[in-house]
C-alpha cells in the first residue's frame, strides 16, 4: 500500500484572503515504511511574506523569488502524489492550500476522500491531550531536536514517524521481531539438543568399600548420642 505524508508552508492561514503556498514536502510510504522517495519544492508566492509567517518558517520573499510559481511545478507534484492516500497533520489546512493552488492553475481538486488527518487519529487515541506535532513527537519519543523552524520536508519526515506510531507500526514490527526471535531461539535449542552427547546416569549408592570405611569410622566414636538412653 502506497501512502504520501505531506506538509506545506504558506504565507498565512487563509487562501481565500490571498495567502499562498510557498513550500511542500512529501514522503512516500510503502506498507507504512518510508521507501526513501521524497518530493520537495519551494514556490514563488507572487506576493509579500508577512512577518508572522516568516517567523514560523524563515522563508523570505527574497529567498523565494528565485523559485518558480506553483503552476510551473504542479504537474511534477501531481505525478509524485499519484492517486495515493495523502496524510497530513491538521489535513484540511494543507488540502485547502493545495486545492486552492490547483484551482488557480485550472486543475482539478485533490479529492478530500484521499485525506488522512493525523490530528483526528491522535484525538481518538489521546482525548484531552495536546495534539500538536511537537507534543505528539514528545509523547512518542520522536527526536525533533533539529527542528529549529518549521520546514515542509522536515515536518513531513517527523509526521511520517508519528503516523507509523499512531497506526501501531513500531509495535507491530516489535511483535514480529519477538516472534522471529522465539523461532530462532527455539531452533537453536532444538539443534543444541540434537548434537549434545547423552551422559550415563550417575550412581549415588555407596559402594561396599565406602560402607566398610564408614562403619570403621563410627566405631571410633566415644559414647555417640544414638547409643545413649533417653
Q: How do residues 142-179 score in pLDDT, each as one tens digit?
A: 988 776 567 899 999 999 999 999 998 655 444 444 45
The answer to the question of residue 211 being in a domain is no
Cα(53)–Cα(61) distance, rounded to whole angstroms?
Answer: 11
Is pLDDT at 114 greater than 90 in this prediction?
yes
Mind spelling out the 3-state secondary structure of 105-141?
A: CCCCCCCHHHEEEHHHHHHHHCCCCCCCHHHHHHHCC
Domain membership of residue 36 (yes or no) is yes
Cβ(82)–Cβ(72) below 8 Å: no
**How many domains in the chain?**
1
- Share the mean pLDDT of the chain: 86
- pLDDT for position 94: 97
- β-partners of residue 34 are 29
Pairing status of strand 21-30 against strand 115-117: unpaired
Q: Would 145 be classed as within a structural domain?
A: yes
Residue 142 lies in a domain: yes
Predicted confidence at residue 72, as pLDDT, reads 97
Q: Which residues pair with 87 in a beta bridge?
A: 5, 116
CA distance 70 to 65: 12
- 18 in Cβ contact with 9 (< 8 Å): no
**Does residue 78 belong to any structural domain of this protein?**
yes
DSSP 150: -
**CATH number of the CATH domain containing 94:** 3.30.420.10
Was 134 annotated as part of a binding site? no
Q: Do the annotations mark residue 9 as ligand-binding?
A: yes
Q: Hey, which residues are catalytic here?
A: 150
The whole domain housing 36 covers 2-172
pLDDT in tens, 14-45: 999 999 999 999 999 999 999 999 999 999 99
Question: Collapsing DSSP states into helix, strand and coil, what is residue 33?
Answer: strand
Is 127 domain-assigned?
yes
Q: CB under 8 Å to 141, separation ≥6 — which residues?
A: none
Does residue 84 belong to any structural domain of this protein? yes
Beta bridge partners of 204: none
**227 in a domain, yes or no?**
no
Amino acid at each position: 500500500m502506497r501512502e504520501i505524508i505531506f506538509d506545506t508552508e504558506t504565507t498565512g492561514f487563509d487562501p481565500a484572503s490571498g495567502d499562498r503556498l510557498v513550500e511542500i514536502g512529501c514522503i512516500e510510504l510503502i506498507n507504512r515504511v518510508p521507501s526513501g522517495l521524497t518530493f520537495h519544492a519551494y514556490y514563488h508566492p507572487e506576493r509579500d511574506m508577512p512577518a508572522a509567517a516568516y517567523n514560523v518558517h524563515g522563508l523570505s520573499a527574497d529567498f523565494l523569488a528565485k523559485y518558480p510559481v506553483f503552476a510551473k511545478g504542479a504537474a511534477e507534484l501531481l505525478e509524485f502524489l499519484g492517486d495515493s492516500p495523502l496524510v497530513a497533520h491538521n489535513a484540511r489546512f494543507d488540502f485547502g492550500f493545495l486545492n486552492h493552488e490547483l484551482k488557480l492553475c485550472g486543475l482539478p481538486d485533490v479529492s478530500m476522500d484521499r485525506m488522512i488527518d493525523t490530528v483526528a487519529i491522535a484525538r481518538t487515541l489521546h482525548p484531552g491531550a495536546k495534539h500538536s506535532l511537537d507534543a505528539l513527537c514528545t509523547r512518542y519519543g520522536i527526536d525533533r531536536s533539529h527542528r529549529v523552524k518549521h520546514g515542509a520536508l522536515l515536518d513531513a519526515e517527523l509526521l511520517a514517524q508519528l503516523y507509523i506510531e499512531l497506526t501501531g507500526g513500531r509495535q507491530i514490527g516489535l511483535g514480529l521481531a519477538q516472534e522471529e526471535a522465539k523461532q530462532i531461539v527455539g531452533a537453536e535449542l532444538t539443534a543444541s539438543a540434537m548434537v549434545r552427547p547423552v551422559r550415563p546416569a550417575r550412581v549415588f549408592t555407596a559402594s561396599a568399600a565406602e560402607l566398610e570405611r564408614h562403619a570403621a569410622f563410627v566405631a571410633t566414636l566415644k559414647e555417640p548420642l544414638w547409643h545413649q538412653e533417653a
